[in-house]
Amino acid sequence: MATLNQFMMKEKLCLDCGSIIQGRSDKKFCSDHCRSHYFFNNNSCNHPNIKQVNKILRSNFKILCHLHVKGQCKVKKNKLLEMGFNFNHFTHIKVVPNNHLCFFSYLAGYVMLDEDSCLILNVG
Ligand SMILES: [Zn+2]
């Protein structure tokens, strides 16, 4: 029975669509379309800056969820900073009642009540 490696050596598959590549053995894609599709979908998300921002957003999300689970919906900005919250990054903004702006990290958001306190909202 052929191992996966033997199979792969005989027939190279397109990294994008998975179809068998005809011709040169060093090709990784079956077409230019697949090559650009692959790099657009994969490599753009592997850019160091994007990884870094995603890491910050995930961390922000975790902090907001953690506090919300504990029932501490109103928190001091300093406490969030101490926990490593980064106020420079968010995924989107929503206007909530009283015309506050709610800054989201994915499903979790916060509203600034004043200069020092935040209210955590909408933790999914
Ligand atoms: Zn392909």
Q: What digits encode the pLDDT tens for the residues 17-26?
A: 999 988 767 8
> Cα of 16 to ligand 1 centre, how many Å?
5
> Cα of 33 to ligand 1 centre, how many Å?
7
* Lowest pLDDT segment from 7-11, 80-84, 92-96: 7-11
Q: What digits encode the pLDDT tens for the residues 16-72?
A: 999 998 876 788 999 999 988 888 777 666 677 888 999 999 999 999 999 987 676
| CB 29, CB 62: distance < 8 Å | no
Residues lining ligand 1 (ion), CB within 5 A?
A: 14, 16-17, 30, 34
- Its sign, for the CA torsion 19, 22, 27, 32, is negative
> Cα of 2 to ligand 1 centre, how many Å?
24
